[in-house]
Amino acid sequence: MSVHVDSAVTERWRPFAQGTGLVLASMALTGLVLLPIGINPIGAYAQILKGAFGSVNALTEDLVYATPIILTSLSVIIAFRCGLWNLGSDGQLYLGAIATVGLGFNRFGMLPPVLLPVMAVAAFAAGAAWAAVPAVLRLRFGASEVIVTIMMNFLAVTIATYLVGGPWASGITPATAPIVSAGFLPILVPGTRLNANFLVAIAAAALLSFVLRRTVFGYQLRTIGQNIDAARYAGMPVNKIRFVSFSCAGGLAGLAGFGEVAGIYHNLPNGLSPGFGYTGIVVALLARLNPLWAVIVAFALAALSVGSGGMQRAMGIPVSLVSILEAVLILLVLATRLLERRA
């Protein structure tokens, strides 16, 4: 009996032990690129920890940075759960941001209480519309959504750059003119940049988790992802569900763009997203496509990014060290086949 309990306990903790081992191994491997430039990897990692958790302000910055990453990772998850790749959440984020800024100038003279919700809905709709293009091309014409979503990312950035430099230019900074103050999201902790969109992201994760586990739609979505032929045979509206979930994926990424504009910048700057969409993919894979785990993993990777900013300032190490670290970690997961999703 005791043996049985023991094995159950080890079974429960094994993923954590394996995860820790993989993280340490990837840190060691990534450290190899630091040695040739004459930097002690342990010192660099210590700087990252200090930059990420060293002060209250750093902690809130972690949450600020985690907000868009949570939303883009949910975006990747909802599409992947029905067997589709959404590599386009970066572009969908830009579309959401563009819609937010466009309405945020408040040229239609909307009342303050109406403005914010309208901006959020428009950002969701713009992201969803941007995602609907690859969804239709995939479901109707069999076009690879991997290639199409990446191309849509480049197009979205091109449009944003055009708006920033042309029609909406502020004339001073490489950003558009600011939105009206009625369109600012409330700040949660005074004196920091932590805004209400963080709560939106958490709520979205909880909602997605509930939908996937407890609703008919979620059941059908998961079935399509696991065995599309079985789903067809069972008479599920496969194309309709895949279209809706892919559009929602775009909408979630659009909300991330809404938060960046309404909560932080209050305008649309050039280079709004430092690759939030791609970090979202990393988070989704490491969280094994679980929306609630995605929140935790997103926080960890956000802390890593914030910390690496500190490391760059203190030691002059480029922040791209973080993408190397993240990628090496996933490659190790793939190579060892530990932590694999059991369908």
Least CB distance to another protein at residue 155 (A) = 5
Which DSSP helix (H) or strand (E) runs through 156?
helix 145-165
Tell me which of 85, 124, 184, 299 binds another protein, using CB under 8 A. Answer: 85
CA–CA dist 263, 124 (Å, integer): 15
CA–CA dist 97, 258 (Å, integer): 5
CA–CA dist 93, 152 (Å, integer): 11
Tell me which of 18, 192, 239, 323 binds another protein, using CB under 8 A. Answer: 323
Least CB distance to another protein at residue 153 (A) = 8
For 24, 68, 314, 335, the CA distances from 49, given in Å and listed in that order, are 14, 21, 12, 27
> Contact between 302 and another protein (CB under 8 A)?
no
Instruction: Provide the mask over 30-69, with x wherever binding to another protein is found by CB under 8 A and - wherever it is not.
Output: ---x---x--------------------------------
Q: Which stretch binds another protein (CB under 8 A): 58-66, 119-127, 141-149, 261-269?
A: 141-149
> Contact between 326 and another protein (CB under 8 A)?
yes
Tell me which of 13, 162, 210, 217 binds another protein, using CB under 8 A. Answer: 162
> Contact between 339 and another protein (CB under 8 A)?
no
CA–CA dist 83, 225 (Å, integer): 4
> Contact between 287 and another protein (CB under 8 A)?
no
Tell me which of 27, 129, 132, 159 binds another protein, using CB under 8 A. Answer: 159
Beta-bridged to residue 176, according to DSSP, are: 169
> Contact between 293 and another protein (CB under 8 A)?
no
> Contact between 98 and another protein (CB under 8 A)?
no
Quick one: which of 196, 191, 185 has its CA closest to 63?
Answer: 196
Instruction: Considering only residues 303 through 322, tell me which ones interact with another protein, judged by CB under 8 A.
Output: 316-318, 320-322
Whose Cβ is closer to another protein: residue 26's or residue 197's? 26
> Contact between 109 and another protein (CB under 8 A)?
no
Report yes or no: 40 and 33 within 8 Å, Cβ to Cβ. Answer: no
Instruction: Considering only residues 165 through 184, tell me which ones interact with another protein, judged by CB under 8 A.
Output: 166
Which DSSP helix (H) or strand (E) runs through 68?
helix 56-80
CA–CA dist 120, 272 (Å, integer): 17
Quick one: which of 113, 81, 114 has its CA closest to 212?
Answer: 81
Tell me which of 3, 111, 172, 335 binds another protein, using CB under 8 A. Answer: 335
Quick one: which of 303, 258, 339, 288 has its CA closest to 76?
Answer: 288
Least CB distance to another protein at residue 86 (A) = 11
Which DSSP helix (H) or strand (E) runs through 7?
helix 2-31
Name the region of 262 (left: φ>0; alpha: ψ -120 to 50; beta: rest): alpha
Least CB distance to another protein at residue 171 (A) = 18
Applying CB under 8 A, the residues found at the interface with another protein are 33, 37, 85, 87, 133, 137, 141-144, 146-148, 150-152, 154-155, 158-159, 161-162, 166, 278, 281-282, 285, 316-318, 320-324, 326-328, 330-331, 334-335, 337
